[in-house]
Copies of this chain bind each other. A is one copy, B any other.
């Protein structure tokens, strides 16, 4: 967790932190024993017994972090801790048997992705709903179109909201797809399931059961060195941040005092300054923009690692994925939550929009070559595009165009 230096990070509390990671790794170990039980490789009650041990297990995160260095990952000391806690030699030996560290950590990270994406999707749903309301309500509210910072031709705030909307809908569909496709990792020491094949005649059935138990998919082959499951999630998370970043940048800009066409909703204590009592900073927009500035490089980190996944399991590239993936998940969970709040409370000043548009009447109609009409008469298909956007999410059109 980025803590104090990532304002808003409490919104992601418990989603991707070390506690959540340990819980996920332990869930993976139990699920594996259960899968082995289903193919008859261990006793039926083993998984239940391990689950009880896990439920009582007290993990000292600082201590585990320290121990994680010796093996280069947190799985090795956690498995040691778990085996010690089992207190039964036979069961202790069965714990983790057939898996490699990467199977556990990759699968646990997929569980964290699943949880985080679920949170993101919920907040995007709220964001979509708020955007649809804005698009519908302001379908015909004229404002100046601005390109390369200067006045262009008239647009409507409804069209702007519709564009934001489609951006979020596309990102949300991508995130939903990514969530559905999250694969379990299961290959053993070098991706052959060799040890598991010693325990059962049906190692692949065990892998499938393992996936099912965790609510993940079985990808047919292990992916220790094919990191697309990681980069696919990353691409979609950064896509979410891109879409939200555009909105936040627009809001911050249109909320400048000289423009004043929109304003973040007020909340007690929100936007205050340490020195200036009147200040009402657009904090949510600023923080969402900040997220959008970070996400692309976190995803690039994951692609850089992906291209260097050598041998049967790589020598550093894999390790460099972990903090980047976690941070990208955290950034997106927080930004999605902040965006839902931002859009739900957004104040729109249609009067200011109209005033700006009318003051710039001649410029906004210059393209037309005839500046005698009203700016609202030169809106082209703006209304129909709003309707199209609303139809995309199943909303009925407000009116024809």
In the assembled complex, the CB of A222 is this many whole angstroms from the nearest CB of chain B, namely 8
Check A307/B292 contact, CB under 8 A, given A70-B267, A197-B380.
Answer: yes
Contact B381–A203 (Cβ < 8 Å): yes
Contact B304–A293 (Cβ < 8 Å): yes
User: Which of A41-49, A114-122, A295-303 interfaces with chain B?
Assistant: A295-303
**Chain B residues near A288 (CB, 8 Å)?**
316
Residues B66 and A147 in contact, CB atoms below 8 Å apart? no
Identical chains bound together, number: 4
Interface residues on A, range: 35 or more
Contact of A356 among B197, B258, B289, B299 (CB under 8 A): B258
A189 contacts B by Cβ under 8 Å: yes
A87 touches B (CB below 8 Å):
no
Interface centre among A69, A305, A308 (most CB of B within 10 A): A69
Inter-subunit contact A189/B65 (CB<8 Å): no
Task: Tell whether A134 is near chain B: CB-to-CB under 8 Å.
Answer: no
Whether A279 is near chain B, meaning CB under 8 Å from some CB there, is: yes
A297, B220: Cα distance in complex, Å: 30
- A360 proximal to B (CB < 8 A): yes
A3-17 interface bits toward B, Cβ cutoff 8 Å, 1 = contact, 0 = none: 111111111000001
Does A346 sit within 8 A of B, measured CB to CB? no
How distant is the Cα of A380 from the Cα of B221 in the complex, in angstroms?
A: 13
Cα A288 to Cα B317 with chains together (Å): 11
B residues in contact with A96, CB < 8 Å: 274-275
Q: Is B320's CB under 8 angstroms from A294's CB?
A: yes
